[in-house]
Structure 1
Amino acid sequence: VVANNNLVYHQTRYADGNWSGFQLIRGVNADTMAARGIAIAGTPDGAAQILAIGDNGLVYHKARYANGTWSEFQLLAGVGWDTMQASQVSITGMADGSAQVLAIGDNGLVYHEARYASGEWSGFQPITGVDALTMRATQIAIAATPDGAAQILAIAPNDLVYHKARYANGTWSNFQLVPGAAGANTFAANTI
């Protein structure tokens, strides 16, 4: 979590229902990590993959391994530049040990990147939008499915919710409007 003091804390809930208690997460060359946003996903090997948007707006990754040890935070590269700046991030762990990442860049565009099970990264790329080469969004979310696909939701600047799938073979569906309640053709939202 990012607490009210803007510092990042971690806690484990054990299988027996007990909790470890919140502990500060070590930052980049510091004892603490200040952040604007955070996302976490588990992988089948028992690790957790963490994304943080630092207080400088840059995107960082850190892993918590199954044995309880941590990697250091590492900056993620942007598209054609050394660092990725974002206003929001989302991550999901896949059955093959990889992770799929979404970010809304500081330009409002949605970007995707894969972290392979080997620890290598694919590099951020913009994803196609609704009848456009890029997708703008104010909110994003991503979730894995057992067949190796990832399901994506995005709230566009018009406040409508859209869905897109990334299939296990790496191809994508087109963004489609998510139907609303009581038979409505669209659904407006402000948070996913």
Structure 2
Amino acid sequence: AGLPDGSSQVLAIGNDGNVYHQTRFTNGSWSGFAPLPGIGTPTMAAWDVAIAGLPDGSAQVLAIGNDGNVYHQTRFTNGSWSGFAPLPGVGTPTMAAWRVALAGLPDGSSQVLAIGNDGNVYHQTRFTNGSWSGFAALPGNGTPTTAARTVGIAGLPDGSSQVAVVGSDGNVYHKTRFKNGSWSVFGAVQGPYGASTFPAQRAAIAGLPDGSSQLVVTRS
């Protein structure tokens, strides 16, 4: 994740299954990896992580712990951490998931996506005051839920977000979350040579300062 001062925040899940973090400073030097503590443990074991930088220089972190639940914490501008805490699910005290994605927006809010254990995509907003909207299923085209294999999200300068998923059919789909909180419908991403769909294993998306987005996929 990139921050406004030009530094970067890096997360990695090591071969021991624990989450490690380091900073790349503006002069190109590195802090070196250090483990992130869990809840009452010296390390945080996880199988998926996501991080996003915010305009105030803080960063938001998500991790799916070894118990299969989604955890969140904040890295503050002074380099201290809030500590991991579980995110509630839909009518449950914890959110069980196997993929997470996270994007920061210019107003300081964050957009969170998770693929739940039912295989459907869920979304929520973390507001600038630190409160949460709560997870809700992301509708498909004419369906109450969107089944997906992987998910990615990017925030843009105008306050909108771009979402890319690999659907349950193995094809890449895209939709926009507008600044007012409404959504476009999912549209299939075209493949090469005029193909109407693009089969893929994973998809990642990033927003640029001019309002465009870059989409990268791993072909299936």
Normalized against structure 2, the TM-score is what? Answer: 0.86
Inter-partner Cα distance in structure 2 for 1:7 and 1:115: 25
Matched, 1:114 2:125: yes
Inter-partner Cα distance in structure 2 for 1:185 and 1:44: 38
Identity in percent: 49
Aligned to 1:167: 178
Matching residue within 22, 40, 44 for 1:33: 44
Inter-partner Cα distance in structure 1 for 2:54 and 2:26: 16
Inter-partner Cα distance in structure 2 for 1:117 and 1:173: 24
Aligned to 1:91: 102
The Cα offsets for residues 74-121 of structure 1, whole Å up to 9 and x where unpaired, read as 100001111100010000010000000000000001000100111100
Inter-partner Cα distance in structure 2 for 1:163 and 1:34: 31
Inter-partner Cα distance in structure 1 for 2:26 and 2:13: 24
Aligned to 2:75: 64
Structure 1: gaps of 5 or more residues: none
Aligned to 1:52: 63
- State the superposition RMSD in angstroms: 0.7
Normalized against structure 1, the TM-score is what? Answer: 0.98
Matching residue within 146, 151, 165 for 2:162: 151
Amino acid at match of 1:109: N
Inter-partner Cα distance in structure 2 for 1:154 and 1:129: 11
Larger strand percent: 2
Runs of 4 or more above 2 Å deviation: none
Aligned length in residues = 192
The Cα offsets for residues 41-67 of structure 1, whole Å up to 9 and x where unpaired, read as 000010110000000000000111110
Inter-partner Cα distance in structure 2 for 1:7 and 1:153: 27
